[in-house]
Chain A
Amino acid sequence: MRQDHLISAANLSRERIEAVLDRAAAIDADPAAYRQRHAGAVLALCFFEPSTRTKMSFDTAMKRLGGTTVDMGTVESSSVKKGETLADTVRVVEGYADAIVLRHPSEGAAKMASEFVDVPLVNAGDGAGQHPSQTLLDLYTIRERAGLDDLSVGIMGDLKYGRTVHSLAHALTNFDVRQHFISPESLRLPRNVRFDLHEAGAQVREHTDLDEVLPELDVLYVTRIQRERFPDENEYRAVAGQYRIDSETLDAARDDLSVMHPLPRVDEIAPEVDETQYATYFEQAHNGIPVRMALLDGLLTRATEGGR
């Protein structure tokens, strides 16, 4: 089995992260130089649950490298609906494409799929598990804004089900970063993520109150608290309100704080924050293209070299 899939942030060493981020910076500086780099290459987009933005982002990245994409379409219209296993689907798709991007509602789906194929496979989100390409663009954004060492990063919201959070927390253990996790008690980090952070010797603190820690943060990474996680609407409102950011909240923040969010947001960041120097989330979203170009470039280049 090949080793250069991207399944989990646990596969991301500091060296590999820096290689992708450096390449992304080079692409950002001179996108034209990459325009024909993978002409003729095909990327398969296998999205077993809808995610328009992530899919568009990979689609755009591949096309800007000169390649093309094939899209499985929606699950409703595909053979998956007829009961085909994921293992069979990816083995068939492997024959069409030079690399596969997979989004799937079950945890561990990408890991399993990667065991059945010989082309590079990128996990674009598996259930509440991992979302490592999002993490790379998050890290790129943090590096552009504040560097990646000697930092205090606050991660706030739904830490239990938020796969972007799980991947980011893993990846940050490669750097000199103090991680602060801010969430309601019921949405704390899951046990396996806390286990990994502990194993990695990460500097971690957990909070229920943002005020405790806001003044020392360089980065505040906000995620959405989903209504469907709560049995009771009132309980949801009580919790969600406490983790909402507006310009008043940010009075206590450092001037150079970056507020990030994987988007889409609902109301956890007030629109008035968009116009402040803190708002980094749109920049973060735009960084998805050069970072995913860099990621695909690395995987496709290695794949070609491996074939020689």
Chain B
Amino acid sequence: MSDHELRVSKIRNGTVIDHVAAGQALNVLAILGIDGSEGEGVSIGMNVPSDRLGRKDVVKVEDRELSQSEVEVLSLIAPEASINIIRDYDVVEKSRVDRPDGVVGLLSCPNRNCITNDGEPIASKFTVVDDGVRCAYCDSIIRDGIADHLDVQT
């Protein structure tokens, strides 16, 4: 183990989300709806040196394993992330995130004139395009700052 990783303490059981783009760690937690109020241990490394990314963030969540849908969502703001499931201090599963084809009910459309912002009985729906996401209703494209449009309950 390199000394970089020692900056974030080891966990016994849970998930390590590594290779998150620098500065996105708090957004990752927001997406997962984790704010520590459930008593789970959370540690974050920000701007950790990385061979692959230059600088990266690392998020460790104790006693929580991510579901497939959580991983998909994560991929929108942290496409380079890798997910390590830890049991009894061992990595039992290691995976890279995959970009999903689309996400439903997760982002709100930045177009204020979009029908999804009109109080209709529908969930927002975005398809994933080359370097962003696109509203399936009004066709608006979000490229930068996808996390700013997260519609997460906190």
Contact = CB atoms under 8 A, between A and B. Distances in A.
Interface extent on B, as a size class?
Answer: 10 to 19
A112 B114 CA distance: 10
Contacts of B111: 107
A107 B138 contact: yes
A99 interface: no
A107 B113 contact: yes
A128 B114 CA distance: 10
A111 B121 contact: no
A87 B137 contact: no
B116 interface: yes
A284 to B, nearest CB: 26
B146 to A, nearest CB: 15
Interface string A96-123: 0000000011111101100100000000
Contacts of A107: 111, 113-115, 137-140
B122 A106 contact: no
What is the interface of chain A mostly: helix, strand, loop, or mixed? mixed
Interface in A148-207: 191-192, 195
Interface residues on A, range: 20 to 34
B139 A86 contact: no
B19 to A, nearest CB: 28
A44 B110 CA distance: 31
A290 interface: no
Given A86-B115, A86-B120, 13 more contacts: A85-B118, A107-B114, A107-B115, A107-B137, A107-B138, A107-B139, A107-B140, A109-B115, A112-B115, A115-B122, A126-B115, A129-B138, A192-B139
28 contacts: A8-B139, A85-B119, A85-B121, A86-B118, A86-B120, A87-B120, A87-B121, A104-B115, A106-B114, A106-B115, A106-B118, A106-B138, A107-B139, A108-B114, A108-B116, A108-B137, A108-B138, A108-B139, A109-B115, A109-B118, A111-B115, A112-B120, A112-B122, A112-B137, A191-B141, A192-B134, A192-B139, A195-B141
